[in-house]
């Protein structure tokens, strides 16, 4: 078993510049997305207080998935991406499919977040051109990623800190309103703040069973990106010490930041009131009820940093992912992306990622493509479910290999949690068909998987070595 201690430079030239505080904050930031601040109202509108069950169930299975990924990364912390384990334990064709699918998904995530950034900036500067905002933000974050991994870590540290402060401030404000018996005005439904509001006349399916199950994909996408902390392992000091702690605290973070925030919101504002304006942020509503007039401005700043954080992480992840794909390739074109800069980062892979993300301003400037872009983004998001499922299957194959470390960082209750997690992801995908908005993207993702999956399998059907060519 290889030993990883305070080594600062890997054999490939990348630098282990991320410290314990960076990884812990990145892990926290990865569980708090823009969807919590803006999408909470929509989630509550679908299924009322039973949304807590949805968040708890998804949080539990995401934690199990992270334990499976963590188990493999603990055994081999040198991997730049967890998807590489699919190539190693399932097969070259499967790894090829998963690697490129995940990378494409990351690019579209980056484009979507860049679009979100420009939207939030225009809240203050409505006359600024969208393309100019996007290019400036993309250039700044790309430079941060090119300078050093430690600078990236510091940036993510403070981005995560802003999100945490916003949630904690909302929870503290909410607790104050609850313990002082605050009664909201008409805008809050004349609700007297109390924890009892959450469970008063509780119904598991207040809007029907279909709406309850339709909430699962929405919350799933809010958690999406939690696996990002695993991608930092190859550039983390003392990965075998830091990674288990970062993953094990995921449950606590979900309890506080998601379930805690939801309980506070529904204790103060009747969920039926929230359902009337599902597109309004419940965070803004709580702060405004407390008399904080600048709530909309502050929350806009928070979601801006949240979107910038997601964009920053997507650039980092996509750059490392493309570097990993290049490492597994023997084509002349891909070899140039195997280089590591003097700053210890895969600079060419990062720059290529940024160039491709620049398609976002072009796409956003053509009104006719707006709906198509949203459709493609939805397909890429659905691909994450497929890649997650393949990763968990790779974990099962890892358990059968000699790489498995019985006394390492193992997945709890593997014999039943592993198959249950796979079944749960399959169930999430089935739930995509409960609503028309997600049905077509789900079908599109299946078509993509069948076609690209077949081509990937055929590409390596007669090849024994797991060498990827482009």
- How confident is the model over 12-36, as pLDDT tens digits? 555 555 666 666 666 666 556 666 7
What's the pLDDT score for residue 5? 45
Calculate the average pLDDT of the chain. 82
pLDDT confidence bin for 389, thresholds 50/70/90: very high
pLDDT in tens, 110-148: 887 888 788 889 889 889 988 899 899 999 999 988 887
Average pLDDT of the segment spanning 315-329: 84
Rounded to whole angstroms, the Cα distance separating 187 from 433 reads 34
Per-residue pLDDT, 296 = 84
Instruction: Classify the C-alpha dihedral 270-273-277-278 as positive or negative.
Output: positive
The Cα 117–Cα 305 span in angstroms is: 8
Q: Give the pLDDT confidence of 44-81 residue by residue, as tens digits.
A: 888 999 999 999 999 899 999 999 999 998 998 877 67
- pLDDT bracket for residue 462 (50, 70, 90): low
Q: Give all domains of the chain, ordered by start, each with its CATH number.
A: 20-459 (1.20.1740.10)
- Distance from C-alpha of 201 to C-alpha of 401, rounded to nearest angstrom: 52
Residue 393 burial by CB count (10 A; 0-12/13-18/19+): exposed, middle or buried? middle
Give the per-residue pLDDT at 22: 62
List all residues 6 or more positions away from 266 whose beta carbon is below 8 Å from its beta carbon.
44, 49, 197, 198, 274
List b or e across 15-45, with b for residues whose CB sees 16 or more CB atoms inside 10 angstroms: bbbbbeebbbbbbbbbbbbbbbbbbbbbbbb
pLDDT at position 467, please?
Answer: 46
| N residues, the chain | 470
- At 2 the pLDDT is 44
Query: What is the percent of the chain with per-residue pLDDT over 90, rounded to a whole number?
Result: 24
CA 309 – CA 155 distance, rounded (Å)? 8
Long-range pairs for 184-187: beta carbons < 8 A, 24 or more residues apart: 184/268, 184/269, 184/289, 185/289, 187/273, 187/285, 187/288, 187/289
Both structure tokens of 240: 């075998």
Torsion sign across C-alpha atoms 28, 219, 358, 106: positive
Q: Which of 162-171, 327-336, 400-409 has the weakest average pLDDT?
A: 327-336
Q: Which of 17-31, 388-402, 413-427 has the lowest mean pLDDT?
A: 17-31
Q: Does the global pTM surpass 0.85? A: no
Question: ∠ CA 318-405-468 to the nearest 5 degrees?
Answer: 35
Residues 6+ apart with CB under 8 A from 289: 177, 182, 184, 185, 187, 188, 268, 269
Q: Which residue in this structure is represented by tokens 């570097």?
A: 323
Angle at 221 between CA 241 and CA 22, to 5 degrees: 30
Q: Is the pLDDT of residue 425 over 80?
A: yes
| First CA to last CA distance, the chain | 33
pLDDT of residue 459: 84
pLDDT of residue 90: 93
Task: Give the mean model confidence (pLDDT) for residues 435-451.
Answer: 85
The pLDDT value recorded for residue 294 is 87
Residue 3 banded pLDDT, cuts 50, 70, 90: very low
Q: What is the pLDDT of residues 274-312, one digit of tens each?
A: 888 887 888 888 888 888 888 888 888 888 888 888 888
pLDDT of residue 468: 43
Write out pLDDT tens, residues 230-247.
Answer: 666 656 777 788 888 878
Nearest in space to 469 (alpha carbons), one of 349, 354, 325 = 325
Crossing angle of helices 295-327 and 149-179, in 10° steps, is: 140
Under the banding of pLDDT at 50, 70 and 90, the label for residue 250 is: confident
- With a cut of 70, say whether residue 86 has pLDDT above it: yes
Block residue for tokens 């499976």: 68
Whether 39 and 402 have beta carbons less than 8 Å apart is answered as no
Quick: pLDDT tens for 174-206. 999 999 999 888 777 788 999 999 988 888 888
Q: Are 288 and 295 in contact (CB under 8 A)?
A: yes
Q: With 50 as the cut, is the pLDDT of residue 406 above it?
A: yes
pLDDT in the model for residue 461: 75
Q: How far is residue 9 CA from its own chain's centroid? A: 27
Contact at 8 Å (CB) between 409 and 133?
no
Mean pLDDT of 426-442: 84
Cα distance between residue 468 and residue 470, in whole Å: 7
pLDDT at 10: 57
């Amino acid at each position: 078993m290889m030993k990883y201690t305070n080594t600062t430079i890997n054999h490939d030239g990348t630098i282990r510049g991320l410290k314990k505080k960076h990884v812990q904050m990145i892990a926290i930031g990865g569980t708090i997305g823009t969807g919590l601040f803006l999408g909470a109202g929509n989630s509550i509108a679908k299924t009322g207080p039973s949304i807590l069950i949805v968040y708890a169930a998804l949080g539990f299975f995401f934690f199990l998935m992270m334990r499976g990924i963590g188990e493999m990364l603990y055994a081999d912390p040198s991997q730049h991406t967890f998807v590489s384990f699919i190539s190693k334990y399932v097969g070259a064709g499967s790894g090829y499919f998963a690697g490129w699918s995940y990378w494409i998904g990351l690019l579209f995530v980056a484009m979507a977040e860049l679009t979100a950034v420009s939207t939030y900036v225009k809240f203050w500067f409505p006359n600024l051109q969208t393309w100019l905002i996007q290019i400036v933000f993309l250039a700044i974050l790309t430079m941060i990623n090119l300078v050093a991994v430690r600078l990236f870590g510091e940036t993510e540290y403070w981005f995560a800190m802003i999100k945490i402060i916003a949630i904690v401030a909302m929870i503290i404000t909410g607790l104050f309103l609850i313990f002082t018996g605050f009664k909201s005005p008409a805008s809050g439904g004349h609700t007297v703040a109390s924890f009892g509001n959450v469970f008063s006349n509780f119904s598991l399916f207040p809007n029907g069973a279909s709406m309850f199950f339709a909430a699962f994909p929405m919350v799933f996408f809010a958690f999406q990106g939690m696996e990002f902390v695993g991608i930092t392992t190859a550039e983390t000091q003392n990965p075998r010490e830091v990674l288990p702690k970062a993953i094990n605290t995921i449950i606590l973070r979900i309890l506080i930041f998601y379930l805690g925030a939801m309980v506070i919101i529904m204790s103060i504002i009747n969920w039926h009131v929230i359902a009337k304006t599902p597109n309004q942020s419940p965070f803004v509503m709580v702060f405004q009820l407390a008399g904080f007039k600048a709530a909309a401005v502050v929350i806009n700043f928070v979601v801006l940093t949240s979107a910038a954080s997601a964009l920053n992480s997507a650039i980092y992840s996509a750059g490392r992912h493309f570097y990993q794909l290049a490492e597994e390739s023997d084509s002349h074109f891909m070899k140039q992306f195997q280089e590591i800069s003097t700053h210890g980062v895969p600079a060419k892979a990062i720059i290529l990622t940024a160039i491709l993300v620049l398609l976002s301003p072009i796409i956003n400037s053509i009104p006719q493509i707006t709906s198509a872009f949203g459709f493609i983004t939805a397909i890429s998001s659905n691909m994450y479910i497929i890649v997650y499922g393949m990763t968990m299957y790779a974990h099962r194959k890892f358990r059968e290999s000699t790489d498995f470390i019985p006394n390492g960082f193992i997945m709890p209750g593997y014999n039943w949690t592993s198959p249950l997690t796979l079944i749960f992801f399959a169930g999430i995908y089935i739930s995509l068909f409960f609503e028309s908005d997600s049905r077509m993207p789900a079908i599109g993702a299946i078509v993509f998987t069948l076609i690209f999956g077949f081509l990937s399998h055929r590409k390596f059907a007669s090849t024994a070595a797991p060498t990827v060519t482009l």
